[in-house]
Amino acid sequence: MIGNTLGLIELTLSGALGLGFCLYQYVAITRDIARSKRERTEAAERPDSTERDASARGARHAHGEHRLDDR
């Protein structure tokens, strides 16, 4: 009898672990997207901001290091 339920217990624990990890990833990505939008909005509201500076900050690299910044 116990041999039949061990598989079910293992399946339940593995599923809970997988769903927990997926939920963690969803929350982490949602927070990151919200933070990026907030930073972009704050940068656009500043009078000294330019689209080129916001592009470099958003990509997390120094200005001029990316070939698309040279357009």
pLDDT of residue 45: 83
Domain extent listing, the chain: 20-70
Query: For the stretch 37-63, what's the b/e string if a residue is b when 16 or more beta carbons lie within 10 angstroms of its beta carbon?
Result: eeeeeebeeeeeeeeeeeebbeeeeee
Decide: residue 24, CB within 10 A, 0-12 exposed, 13-18 middle, 19+ buried: exposed
pLDDT of residue 36: 92
Average pLDDT, the chain: 79
> Does residue 2 or residue 24 have the better pLDDT?
24
Render pLDDT for 26-55 as a digit per residue (tens, 0 to 9): 999 999 999 999 998 888 887 764 555 555
